[in-house]
Amino acid sequence: MKVHERFLKYVKIDTQSLPEAENIPSSKKQKDLGRLLVEEMISIGIKDAYMDENGYVYGTVKGNADGPAIGFIAHMDTSPDMPGNNVKPKIIYDYDGSDIVLNEEKQIVMETKTFDHLLKYKGQDLIVTDGTTLLGADDKAGIAEIMSMAEYFINNPQIKHGTIKIGFTPDEEVGRGADLFNIEEFNADYAYTVDGGEIGELEYENFNAASAKVKISGVNIHPGTAKNKMKNSILIGMEFHNMLPVHETPENTEGYEGFSLLNDMSGNVEETLLEYIIRDHNLEKFNIKKDRFQKITYYLNEKYGQGTVELELKDQYFNMKEKILPHMHIIENAVRAMEDIGIEPSVVPIRGGTDGARLSYMGLPCPNLCTGGHNFHGKYEYISIQSMEKVVELLIEIARAK
């Protein structure tokens, strides 16, 4: 089966994770894809493939040569930011470099003036959405590429390679993909997540990440008699937000610059909830950002009364760089593999996170490789078939015994 055919099969299965759920997997439907993957793995010859009770899928391609046991990991869930059900992917064959009409009825167009990277793919075949859902290349493209790599080695036993460990995780998009990953049973010397973007990307630096929930309690009084009595929690919430630096937002930052994102806000006069994510590559700057939330909370409680503002700060993951630096041969091997097959390496910091960040801190060094996709988490998501095929070639090259 071709890699894009696998991908098209996987994206038809809704695996959207649920940030508000506490169980793992956060949505039972993720196991629908897990069961399909186990069946497919067994059918191509991965005899030990299984899914555990938490929705994690594992399997082994046995080695036929000496070498390290290398893991390849991707996540099964899709982002809660955009609908992931009823995905209707379309293939634009021999893309001509023009704007792409995703949905004529709804007049949804992917324009090259906004997404100029489209022009890199002129003459290639692009898989796009119908404009009403995300596509799911994050990270079902990674799954398809790993599966195609595994099938290649099984069908070509003359190609020498060490042991290849495969892992597919739930709930990466809600920050819990590595929570119950069985490092000991996986038993790899090191691994790669296949969860990046454009072809050539290789990442071993990611954000330090935290979440912040700000609950504001107000006092609701009839507006006709509210003078000196009403305490409007919505306005206090606005005041809280306006005390954060206006330039430290995602739309104003790039590269190594961190940010705080107001991801959700809801409420009324009586009670308001603000939900943030906090990100920075630099640990010192990360801690300063978190400390700022605490100082604003203290200030507003002094101003409006103790208990007005309640802050819940939670660390989510940390920059994997510290854990990768002692194992830089992992990066060097990937760079060499890219160069050997004609991919130009682009070693860049992740402006996000992967399961690999958590896994690296759990003892499994795990940088991130490209999938070939663009515009993740939204209706303009797309991926080149030729890029997917090249990523399969890259995984094969990394796993081959040299």
Distances (CA, A) of 28 to 33, 80, 85, 330: 10, 14, 14, 35
For residue range 178-220, list pLDDT tens digits in order: 999 999 999 999 999 999 999 999 999 999 999 999 999 999 9
**Contact call for residues 218 and 309 (beta carbons, < 8 A):** no
- Structurally, how many domains does the chain consist of? 2
Q: What is the pLDDT confidence band of residue 353, given thresholds at 50, 70 and 90?
A: confident
What CATH code is carried by the domain that includes residue 331? 3.40.630.10
Final residue in a domain of this structure, among 272, 295, 316: 316
Cα–Cα dist 374/256, whole Å: 20
Distances (CA, A) of 358 to 189, 315, 343: 16, 11, 28
**Contact call for residues 320 and 363 (beta carbons, < 8 A):** no
**Does 251 participate in catalysis according to the annotation?**
no
Same domain, 356 and 293: no
Distances (CA, A) of 38 to 49, 70, 83, 358: 6, 20, 25, 24
Same domain, 256 and 368: no
Strand order in the sheet with 373-374: 90-92, 126-128, 382-384, 373-374
Position 176 scores a pLDDT of: 87
**Does 172 participate in catalysis according to the annotation?**
yes
Residues 6+ apart with CB under 8 A from 125: 4, 91, 92, 93, 94, 95, 384, 385, 386
For residue range 4-26, list pLDDT tens digits in order: 999 999 999 999 999 889 899 99
Cα–Cα dist 212/79, whole Å: 19
Q: What single-letter DSSP state applies at residue 159? A: S
**Contact call for residues 166 and 58 (beta carbons, < 8 A):** yes
Cα–Cα dist 131/120, whole Å: 21
Final residue in a domain of this structure, among 287, 316, 345: 316
Distances (CA, A) of 272 to 81, 213, 214, 305: 21, 10, 8, 16
What CATH code is carried by the domain that includes residue 282? 3.30.70.360
Same domain, 255 and 199: no
First to last CA, the chain: 27
Same domain, 237 and 383: no
Final residue in a domain of this structure, among 316, 351, 377: 316
For residue range 283-299, list pLDDT tens digits in order: 999 999 999 999 999 99
Same domain, 201 and 220: no
Same domain, 220 and 149: no
pLDDT score of 95 more than 80: yes
Token pair, residue 176, equals 């819990």
pLDDT score of 351 more than 90: no
Q: Is 0.85 topped by the overall pTM?
A: yes
Task: Report the candidate in 289, 279, 285 with the shortest Cα–Cα distance to residue 353.
Answer: 279
Token pair, residue 239, equals 């005041």
359: three-class secondary structure by DSSP: helix
Same domain, 277 and 230: yes
Same domain, 198 and 212: no
State the average pLDDT over residues 78-95: 96
Same domain, 108 and 161: yes
Locus of tokens 């793992």: 24
Angle at 172 between CA 10 and CA 375, to 5 degrees: 65
pLDDT score of 282 more than 90: yes
Same domain, 46 and 143: yes
Token pair, residue 399, equals 């796993």
* Per-position b or e across 353-376, b if 16+ CB within 10 A of its CB: bbbbbbbbbeebbbbbbbbbbbbb
Position 49 scores a pLDDT of: 98
Range of the domain at 295: 208-316
Please pick, among 14, 77, 195, 393, the residue that the annotation labels catalytic. Answer: 77
State the average pLDDT over residues 48-73: 97
Same domain, 258 and 283: yes
pLDDT score of 402 more than 80: no
State the average pLDDT over residues 220-237: 95
Please pick, among 125, 145, 171, 172, the residue that the annotation labels catalytic. Answer: 172
Residues 6+ apart with CB under 8 A from 39: none
Same domain, 15 and 159: yes
279: part of which helix (H) or strand (E)? strand 271-280
